[in-house]
Amino acid sequence: MKKKLLFIGSLPPPIGGVSTINLSFQQLLSDSYEIISFNTSHNRRYVDLYTKIKLKDLIYSIKLLWQFLFFAFRNRNTTANIFITSGKAFLRTILIYFIGYIFKIRFITHLHSKTEGEYFLAKHRIFFFTRLINYFSRNIILLSNYHKYHFCEHGLDLKKSYVIENFVDYSKYKCSINNKNHELLYVGRLSKRKGVFDLFNSLKIIKDSGIEFKLHIIGDYDKETTQQQIVQFISSNQLEENIMLHGVVFGNKKLELYKKCGIFICPSHFENSPIVIKEAIASSMAILCSDINANKLILDPFENKIFHRVGDSVDIADKLLLLLKHPKKTNNMMKSSSLINQFDSKIAKTKFVSIINNLSK
């Protein structure tokens, strides 16, 4: 009989880093454990993560906590992996911790957080943030060594802290470089903070220069006004033949786009530890991405990438033109990606199972 393993955190929709890795972990471990999931997502199409908390959000959180009370009672004396961030949603997480504590749930806290710019990362709040995590968590999982040492410097318990990189199943993305074209691929939420308007402005520059290109986009809009702005931009700049909006796609269609496209673009203004870059690596792509710290932490050791200045459309255009005009360079970057294997899901599974087993000792 399989041992129960609870997962607490958001699931798609909407699609984001936390919801994606939560789902991936559940799928990865389903053959070894009886997975029981508590979904904290609003399940709304449009979700802007950076607006003020509204009354309807408070009402939703109250309902969610009431549901979790019964969930915790039914699953008392079990182990739970809880995904948390350092935004204002952590206030709700504190109450989830308390409820779980009452019902003797053993928490493994999966800290999926940036290192600056969120509510509980301010100097006068991070002390309480890390101490609360320490108190309620048997073990703590972080996204990288950089994240681990950053939060440990601010009070997180080093002895409880482990690193498990966000991962992908390499076997699903395996492909031949010879079958790739030099088309472009963007995967992620369509929002200003993700750099999509920087990218679109750069594509206008490239089109005006007379260079042919095609960009495939997988992802949904953060809000309806963003959708209207993007559709209008594409239309007014005659980019309909150059930009393919696929929406939210899963399974074979998503994999086929990764496998056929040669150049991956990640112009985001912020990230934690982007899974999409690791998907691009697994599918042997050349990568053009913003020079933010999260991207550099993954890609600095490798020769498969070019960085552009964050928020700089002209620099994006210059770097894209370099890749489009020099296919040999692009192919060499693809070959470099094909040699990288440390983000495979098998490695993550081994580490996670070891953490759970240590809880029983």
Class of domain 3-167+344-359: alpha beta
- Helix, strand, coil fractions of the chain, as percent rounded to 5: 50, 20, 35
Q: CA 149, 155, 157, 162 torsion: positive or negative?
A: negative
Q: Is the pLDDT of residue 104 over 60?
A: yes
Distances in whole angstroms, Cα of residue 157 to Cα of each of 68, 118, 162, 351: 27, 21, 10, 18
What is the model's pLDDT at position 52?
65
- Calpha distance 21→15 (Å, rounded): 10
Q: In this predicted model, what pLDDT tens digit does every residue of 185-220 receive, in sequence order?
A: 999 999 999 999 999 999 999 999 999 999 999 999
Q: What is the DSSP string of 213-280?
A: --EEEE--BSSHHHHHHHHHHHHHTT-TTTEEEEES--HHHHHHHHHH--EEEE--S--SS-HHHHHH
Element (H, E) at 97: helix 90-102
Element (H, E) at 185: strand 184-187
Domain boundaries, given as residue ranges, for the chain:
3-167+344-359, 170-338
The CA radius of gyration of the chain, in Å to the nearest whole number, is: 21
- Calpha distance 143→240 (Å, rounded): 38
What the block records as the tokens of 251 is 């399974």
The model's confidence at residue 236, banded by pLDDT at 50, 70 and 90, is very high
- Calpha distance 243→237 (Å, rounded): 11
What percentage of residues in the chain have a pLDDT greater than 90? 83
Q: What are phi and psi of 58, to 5 degrees?
A: -65, -40
Q: In this predicted model, what pLDDT tens digit does every residue of 5-60 receive, in sequence order?
A: 999 999 987 667 888 899 999 999 999 999 999 999 876 655 555 566 677 778 88
What is the model's pLDDT at position 360?
65
CA 191 to chain centre: 14
Using DSSP, state whether 141 is helix, strand or coil. strand
Q: In this predicted model, what pLDDT tens digit does every residue of 239-273 receive, in sequence order?
A: 999 999 999 888 899 999 999 999 999 999 988 88
> Which pTM does this prediction carry?
0.88
- Inter-residue contact 258 to 185 (CB < 8 Å): yes
Provide the edge-to-edge strand list for the sheet that holds 79-84: 33-39, 3-9, 79-84, 106-111, 137-142, 161-163
Phi-psi region of 243 (alpha: psi -120 to 50; beta: other; left: phi over 0): beta
Q: CA 56, 58, 61, 65 torsion: positive or negative?
A: negative
What is the model's pLDDT at position 47?
53
Instruction: Name residue 137's amino acid.
Output: S
Q: How many CB atoms lie within 10 A of CB 227?
A: 15
The chain-wide mean pLDDT, for the chain, equals 93
Provide the edge-to-edge strand list for the sheet that holds 305-308: 243-247, 215-218, 184-187, 263-266, 286-290, 305-308
What is the model's pLDDT at position 48?
54
Q: Region 46-75: what's the mean pLDDT?
A: 82
- Calpha distance 243→217 (Å, rounded): 7
- Inter-residue contact 316 to 310 (CB < 8 Å): no
Domain at 170-338: CATH architecture = 3-Layer(aba) Sandwich (3.40)
What the block records as the tokens of 88 is 């204002």
* One fold for 3-167+344-359 and 170-338: yes
